[in-house]
Chain A
Amino acid sequence: MENNEKHHISSYTSHALVLIALLVLTFITVYISKFHFGVFSVGVALLVASVKATTVLTWFMHLKFESKFTKWMVGGVFILFALVVIITFIDYLLR
């Protein structure tokens, strides 16, 4: 098809590299869960999970190569969700 040039085709190698990165991050999470950082362990676990989620969104879900509009839309929704979380916590912690 003549339109194909417009679509970015991800290579098999890039998908494999993304998988390796995700697996390494998974084992890091499992490994550090053995140490007890107290309050910080939740933070560390969520931080690694966020890095993994961003990797999946960017490469596997192909966001890197989507239109600006889609990127902003997805980013905006995550900011909206973050706001919901923050506002809920402000409510609970200041009660």
Chain B
Amino acid sequence: MTNHSGHPHQIDSETGKMGMWLFLFTELFLFGGLFLAYAVLRIQHAEGFHRAAQELDIFIGTLNTVVLLVSSMTVAMSITALQKGNKNLSIGLILITVLLAGVFMVNKYFEWSHKFEHHLWPGSEVYLNLDRTEITFYGLYYMMTGLHALHVFIGAILLIVTVFRIKAGVQHAGHYVLLENSALYWHLVDLIWIFLFPLLYLIT
């Protein structure tokens, strides 16, 4: 941070990015707390967690993992494109990312509605008649994937705002901190899913 020339945009970018990282740390601890609760409860109720986790659809989980990983690449590439001054390619890549966010949400919709068809939602009669440890698992499942899906939604909105800023010429090859920060947020969504997926879907 000591060697920049003092160009105002560059100072903005450095501090702007620093602020984004600080915000991401709070996100880490938000989800981290839930992961910790999951870990402790899992050790105490291994049997119930094992049974409940088997109900989750590994195929949808894997598909959504691939979708998020690809979207992480496209958003990373959109920065490269803008840095090289290729505005349209950058916008196109961001829109592909938003599209993939949509695919993720549609999958999530099918996954959740499949459970709702079996009357399995927090507070339902079927849900309350489950074993106590299975209720704990589903409680964490709905909380963690729901909170994650909310982040996917917010991330997509951030990316759409970024597209408009690039179109307006406010974000360009010399100044693209908003794109960088939206991308960082999007990668965080991916990071969280990287841990959610094996913990909820795979370890049965």
For this complex, into which size category does the number of interface residues on chain B fall?
35 or more
The contact string, 1 if C-beta is below 8 Å from chain B, for chain A 1-20, is 11110110111100110110
The contact string, 1 if C-beta is below 8 Å from chain A, for chain B 28-45, is 110010001001100100
Residues of B within 8 Å of A29, CB to CB, are 197-198, 202
User: Which of the residues B21, B76, B198, B204 comes within 8 Å of A48, measured between beta carbons?
Assistant: B198
In A10-58, which residues have CB < 8 Å from any B CB? 10-12, 15-16, 18-19, 22-23, 26, 29-30, 33, 41-42, 45-46, 48-49, 52-53, 56-57
Instruction: Return 30 A-B CB contacts under 8 Å, by A number.
Output: A1-B173, A3-B5, A3-B9, A6-B10, A10-B76, A15-B73, A22-B69, A23-B66, A26-B62, A26-B66, A29-B197, A33-B198, A33-B203, A33-B204, A45-B203, A49-B194, A52-B194, A53-B191, A53-B194, A59-B76, A60-B187, A61-B183, A62-B79, A66-B17, A70-B17, A70-B21, A74-B21, A85-B36, A88-B36, A92-B40
